[in-house]
Structure 1
Amino acid sequence: MAANGAPLFLANLSSVFRRDATSSSVGKSKPRQISFSNSSRRFAVSTEQPTTTSRSSGSGRLEKREEAEAVAATGFEDPAVERGSLKDYFERSKELVRRSDGGPPRWFTPLECGPPLINSPLLLFLPGIIGVGLGLFKQHQRLGKIFEIWCLHIPVVDRTPFTELVKLVERVIRSENHRSPNRPIYLVGESFGGCLALAVAALNPDIDLVLILANPATSFSRSHLQRLIPLLDIMPDQLPLISLPNMLSSITTGGPLRMMIESVVKGLPFQQTIGELSQDLVAISSHLSVWFWPKETLRWKLQMLKSASSVSNSLLHDVKALTLIISSGKDELLPSLEEGGRLFRALPNCEIRKFNDSGHFLFLEDGIDLVTIIKAAGFYRRGKNTDHVSDYMPPTPTEFQKVYDEYIWINAATNPVMLSTLEDGKIVRGLAGIPSEGPVLLVGYHMLLGLDSFPLVTKIFSERNILVRGIAHPVIFVRDKQGTLPDLSAYDSFRIMGAVPVSATNFYKLMSSNSHALLYPGGMREALHRKGEEYKLIWPEQSEFVRMAARFGAKIILFGAVGEDDIGEVVVDYDDLMKIPYFKGEIERLTNGAVKLRTDANGEVANQDVHLPGILPKFPGRFYYYFGKPFETKGRKQELRDKDKSKKLYLEVKSEVARCIDYLKEKREKDPYRNLLSRLIYQATNGFTSEVPTFEL
């Protein structure tokens, strides 16, 4: 089976909670549970460990299970929904602190999270040094659909040492692992909570943990916070309360003015910026009781941070859990961007995502959606191993729009022409010929660098609301051990759009779930072809996909794609590079760092060395796609078990793809708008959203 290639080519508190971002828990029934409300928002708080039982609370969670499953099938709630304001956050935090009995740390869950999917993994939120436990406030609703969430609340007056907090979390994960041994447990640690998560993971390597660390405080020794400790030593003891934001103002920079300027630069209306900023400042100033602590409390918390950082750093070499580091580029409390890189290099199973315009509390920022981050990084699973089919969540409208905008330059430069064939054989412009019901297997030619796949997938999704799952090379899912391949974050959009690693198992699951799948039999060898091989089908001899499609009665739709020679010309290919010792060594290193495919195959497709050919760019032409009439396999399962008959159909499929390519190569010569300049002139005259004509059909 071949792979679908990828394109290779706190000075002031208002400055801590940034608005200019780049891109929930289940109520437990326990005897000593305390419930309270504030503005119709409810919590369930327990001083004991919550139990995982069949839940039926006053919010009707059990009755809403079917509704949650239905929402999941359609892509979940859009991250653009209203998720509360900073004012709401501070009100909730103040209420939680005020209602707390000052007892030991305990777990709680906001009841607005809603019922999660069946068999959803457990997510434990480990807060920063403030300890309120509402750091995921804006994420609760979305996270609550796919996780069972418990948040840790550490009362302000609590003096539980770091090692005891580690034991507290350990008791929960051991109990839950014993209760559900096949269910992963997610530890989402923010700042101080990141240190806590690392220590727990290091001490429990036998438990299936997934760590998500947002600006972990492992860098405390290099932070501004470290400087506060000697300042406290020289402060008068008679000071009753100290504001952490005011303390930080002496050693950090920034403020409301900078936020306002940056927001205006980003294009927000000036009056809107002033209004939102004023609301946030009023909210912060009216709820500062959360941030005012006695001197000894602040000293304790800073010493706790110091201890947590020291302990977690000493245990890094024992952390084997899958880890996702989320780093902010404008964190004014910790050097998080630098620290993220250090942890990425130190931890063996680690990925990193950077948000250069975000501050320390990035989960409270507008535009940051943790569910989307987890999905894009490929970190969501409900069992021991990731099931790329059943664990997958379709993109929401907001997620798709971000993906589309990321690659909009390809569509703008190539203005793709899509042609399809109706059941009566008529060729029409558009995608009406693609069946709505699966299983459907799209099989075609892979253009240079794989630049054809994203216009194809996004166009079908936007016009027909059909999600095409690309069967992709594992290079976009597996971290390169040697660090010579592109970072996995470069492929986040592919995972959002449903790409799966190439394997017989994943192919089987896609067909059995009536999906639309995209397969390029030529894989990387075809996408990274040699000079003079434009539009040459480099397919394996074996009829790899025919019998699998027939097993489920899938329709096979063949398509041709042309246009690669309109955007660039290969001037230095694989053969040229292998003659140069330096590049030969680099190719060998790249190939050794990638997952091997078709190790038992012979011929050209077996040679899929990873390399990047030298390409001379051209003035962009136009991309053309032609989807032929579907090949029916329904009712032919027994017939196509015969190797000779399946090989015959395979050759017919290959021949049809070649015919589609030849048709497009001939027709594009008659397209008056093949050239970019002619298309720009047309759109300037008729509007840039107008559809540019093409050749006569």
Structure 2
Amino acid sequence: MGLILHHQSLGKVFQVRCLHIPLDDRTPFEGLVKFVENSVKDEHSRSPNRPVYLLGDSFGGCLALAVAARNPHIDLVLILVNPATSFNKSHLPPFIPVLEALPRDLHFGIPYALSLILGGSLKMAAARSEEALLSQQTVEELLRTISSLIPLLSDLTDTLRNDIFLWKLKLLKSGASYSNSRLHAVEAQVLMLVSGKDNLLPSGNEADRLRKSLKNCRVRYFKDNGHTLLLEDGLNLLSVIKATTTYRRSNQHDFVTDYLPPTKSEFRQVFDRDNRLFSLATSPVLFSTLKNGKIVRGLGGIPDKGPVVLVGYHMLLGLELGPLYEAFLREKNIIIRGMAHPFLFSQTETSRQEMSRFDLLRIFGALPVSPTNMYRLLSRKSFVLLYPGGAREALHRKGEEYKLYWPDQPEFVRMAARFDATIVPFGVVGEDDIAEVVLDYDDQMNIPFVQRWIESMNQGVIRIRTDMDGEVGKQDFHLPGLLPKVPGRFYYLFGKPFETRGMDILKDRESAIEAYSRIKSETKSLMSYLLKKREEDPYRSVVQRTVYQNSWGVSTEVPTFDP
């Protein structure tokens, strides 16, 4: 059942197999383990250099862990969904002696157990209807779903006799005991998905325990979901696999070759739903420059084919990223591969780690910044997003809005020239229209307990510019204190494309330095232009934009200044 909502998307990436255990089957747990083990060994023999994924939901989690413990030499990736290893700590063990004392044909306890299992799904369905009360289609869909569940519950009650329910409980008990006794032998990579409102198993606490016991385990916590996580609204299993960089074709994840582009549903989920309020508040305006120097609204001046390197100013906390990715995908159907600090890929996680903005960055193409990754992307004619100012710009101090912190080394220009790539500088302004920094890095380092927290958070963080002097070469990660403002507007301007083809940049370092200086100067000019022209925008304020959209429709493009 849990595969129903996910087999179509998973089938585009994996060869999907499904284990079915008939209700009247009496194969003991070790027999089921051997059955799965044989299938795993068969797949491994066909493709010994590729991982085998085991998706274990509840009882299946015990099976997956047991198979992994018995086969440490096989490259396995386990995806555990509310694993039943916590059976002994659940509400279920007391049912065993009660059921043993009752006639086999009675159905005592089964409706209660089903309510524990399906309660979360029904809650999710109810919540979904409340969010869309005005949608007739959604209401009709919900009614059909509930109507179809009624005979299903009746059939299950008739089918799950006490003897079957008793056998399943004993199977759960033995499976939990078997897998728990062998956790130390599990070498597999593990991704665990747990629910915060699991009424059947204490999955949250179990995540705390398993994360400490397993050698290579990551967790994603869904606080509002129930036991039947895979059947509930709002979860896309493949998206979680992609967001956690769990998908790989070899013995380790490759950010270039293993990248799976975002799907239409992922795009709609992020930009048409989750990010909708931010987009309405900031109403981004994008301009680009044609080859003849004319500035036009939209991305008409951006090349249609790569390799292209986009270089520009990194706004506070990277707030400009969402509208930038959305515009390129929506207008040009181009995926930008953003070069991000390695900190975003190696940060410390917890057993109650929820899906985060960092996860979304991975889905939409972010990868650790390095010369090797940039080389490989450009060789594939990709669109690469690079911020020379890096973390120092994105975590700037008070009063440092729109100040570039670019290093003196022109290496990205030389790398672009190696592949005849086009460099497009861009400027972006508007961060000062939505928030003000009131507690910056310098302020925080003067507060003893905050200083200790920052130092602890940055222990072991990879430094990518250790060979550089000054502030560019060192920047501790921290969270600036911000004071929100009545939202203004974001403005982007992409400058005239800089062609490296035919230039002597690669061999002549002086030419590379000159080109680098021109690009940096152009980026400053683009921001100066936007800072001046935004004063002419009659819809800079969210109030004027709201009035306009109420008159012409939320989806209507709001006018701005004439470029």
State TM-score, norm by structure 1.
0.74
- Of the three residues 569, 583, 603, the one matched with 2:450 is 583
SS of the equivalent of 1:399 reads helix
Whether the aligned pair in 2 keeps the contact of 1:477 and 1:501 (CA below 8 Å) is: yes
**2:531 corresponding residue in structure 1:** 665
Measure, in 2, the Cα distance between the counterparts of 1:506 and 1:445: 21
Q: Which moved more, 1:171-180 or 1:224-233?
A: 171-180
Residue 470 of structure 1 aligns with an amino acid whose one-letter code is G
**1:649 corresponding residue in structure 2:** 515
**1:233 corresponding residue in structure 2:** 100
Superposed, 1:135-534 pairs within 5 Å as 135-236=2-103, 239-240=104-105, 242=107, 245-246=110-111, 248=113, 261-262=126-127, 264-267=129-132, 269=136, 270-286=139-155, 291-293=159-161, 295=163, 297-365=164-232, 367-404=234-271, 405-480=273-348, 489-534=356-401
Measure, in 2, the Cα distance between the counterparts of 1:494 and 1:464: 19
Identical residues among aligned pairs (%): 53
SS of the equivalent of 2:40 reads helix
SS of the equivalent of 2:311 reads strand
Whether the aligned pair in 2 keeps the contact of 1:410 and 1:455 (CA below 8 Å) is: no
Residue 409 of structure 1 aligns with an amino acid whose one-letter code is L
SS of the equivalent of 2:458 reads helix
Unaligned runs of 5+ in 1: 1-133
After superposition, what is the alpha-carbon deviation per residue over 1:666-688, rounded to whole angstroms, capped at 9, x for unaligned?
11122222222222233233333
Please tell me whether residue 685 in structure 1 is matched to residue 551 in structure 2: yes
Measure, in 1, the Cα distance between the counterparts of 2:374 and 2:12: 27
Please tell me whether residue 621 in structure 1 is matched to residue 488 in structure 2: yes
Say if 1:433 and 1:258 are closer, same or farther in 2 by CA, change over 3 A. closer
Measure, in 2, the Cα distance between the counterparts of 1:398 and 1:573: 38
After superposition, what is the alpha-carbon deviation per residue over 1:241-291, rounded to whole angstroms, capped at 9, x for unaligned?
6587336269889599868754542435455433331123234535767x4
Say if 1:249 and 1:644 are closer, same or farther in 2 by CA, change over 3 A. closer
Whether the aligned pair in 2 keeps the contact of 1:445 and 1:560 (CA below 8 Å) is: yes
Measure, in 2, the Cα distance between the counterparts of 1:255 and 1:408: 27
Measure, in 1, the Cα distance between the counterparts of 2:115 and 2:239: 36
After superposition, what is the alpha-carbon deviation per residue over 1:571-627, rounded to whole angstroms, capped at 9, x for unaligned?
222122222222221111111153332233332221121111222222222111110
Whether the aligned pair in 1 keeps the contact of 2:316 and 2:394 (CA below 8 Å) is: yes
Deviation at 1:444, TM superposition (A): 0.2
Whether the aligned pair in 2 keeps the contact of 1:479 and 1:488 (CA below 8 Å) is: no
**2:438 corresponding residue in structure 1:** 571
SS of the equivalent of 1:145 reads coil
SS of the equivalent of 2:452 reads helix
Q: Which moved more, 1:557-566 or 1:567-576?
A: 567-576
Whether the aligned pair in 1 keeps the contact of 2:424 and 2:495 (CA below 8 Å) is: yes
Deviation at 1:632, TM superposition (A): 0.3
Say if 1:496 and 1:389 are closer, same or farther in 2 by CA, change over 3 A. same
After superposition, what is the alpha-carbon deviation per residue over 1:404-450, rounded to whole angstroms, capped at 9, x for unaligned?
12222322221111110012110011111111111111100001111
**1:88 corresponding residue in structure 2:** none
**1:539 corresponding residue in structure 2:** 406
Say if 1:677 and 1:211 are closer, same or farther in 2 by CA, change over 3 A. same
* Aligned-CA RMSD value: 2.8
Unaligned runs of 5+ in 2: none
Say if 1:418 and 1:209 are closer, same or farther in 2 by CA, change over 3 A. same
Deviation at 1:166, TM superposition (A): 2.9
Deviation at 1:178, TM superposition (A): 4.5
Whether the aligned pair in 2 keeps the contact of 1:228 and 1:247 (CA below 8 Å) is: no
SS of the equivalent of 1:641 reads coil
Deviation at 1:299, TM superposition (A): 2.6
Whether the aligned pair in 1 keeps the contact of 2:444 and 2:450 (CA below 8 Å) is: yes
Whether the aligned pair in 2 keeps the contact of 1:394 and 1:497 (CA below 8 Å) is: yes
SS of the equivalent of 1:545 reads helix
Measure, in 1, the Cα distance between the counterparts of 2:122 and 2:557: 44
- Of the three residues 464, 471, 490, the one matched with 1:597 is 464
Measure, in 1, the Cα distance between the counterparts of 2:128 and 2:353: 32
After superposition, what is the alpha-carbon deviation per residue over 1:26-85, rounded to whole angstroms, capped at 9, x for unaligned?
xxxxxxxxxxxxxxxxxxxxxxxxxxxxxxxxxxxxxxxxxxxxxxxxxxxxxxxxxxxx
Q: Which moved more, 1:216-225 or 1:349-358?
A: 349-358
Residue 515 of structure 2 aligns with an amino acid whose one-letter code is L
Q: How many residues align?
A: 558
Whether the aligned pair in 2 keeps the contact of 1:395 and 1:497 (CA below 8 Å) is: yes
Measure, in 1, the Cα distance between the counterparts of 2:123 and 2:12: 36
Measure, in 2, the Cα distance between the counterparts of 1:247 and 1:572: 53
State TM-score, norm by structure 2.
0.91
Superposed, 1:5-20 pairs within 5 Å as none
Deviation at 1:209, TM superposition (A): 1.4
Whether the aligned pair in 2 keeps the contact of 1:377 and 1:489 (CA below 8 Å) is: no
Deviation at 1:137, TM superposition (A): 3.3
Deviation at 1:487, TM superposition (A): 6.0
Q: Which moved more, 1:181-190 or 1:350-359?
A: 350-359
Say if 1:572 and 1:247 are closer, same or farther in 2 by CA, change over 3 A. closer
Measure, in 2, the Cα distance between the counterparts of 1:262 and 1:578: 44
SS of the equivalent of 2:356 reads helix
Measure, in 1, the Cα distance between the counterparts of 2:120 and 2:395: 50
Deviation at 1:355, TM superposition (A): 3.4
After superposition, what is the alpha-carbon deviation per residue over 1:192-239, rounded to whole angstroms, capped at 9, x for unaligned?
110121222234333321110111101111222222112112213xx3
Whether the aligned pair in 1 keeps the contact of 2:110 and 2:157 (CA below 8 Å) is: no
SS of the equivalent of 1:189 reads strand
**1:45 corresponding residue in structure 2:** none
Measure, in 2, the Cα distance between the counterparts of 1:512 and 1:613: 37
Deviation at 1:468, TM superposition (A): 1.3
Superposed, 1:64-79 pairs within 5 Å as none
Superposed, 1:30-45 pairs within 5 Å as none
Residue 246 of structure 1 aligns with an amino acid whose one-letter code is P
Residue 282 of structure 1 aligns with an amino acid whose one-letter code is P
**1:22 corresponding residue in structure 2:** none
SS of the equivalent of 1:274 reads helix
SS of the equivalent of 2:5 reads helix
Deviation at 1:524, TM superposition (A): 0.7
SS of the equivalent of 2:68 reads helix
Measure, in 2, the Cα distance between the counterparts of 1:476 and 1:615: 21
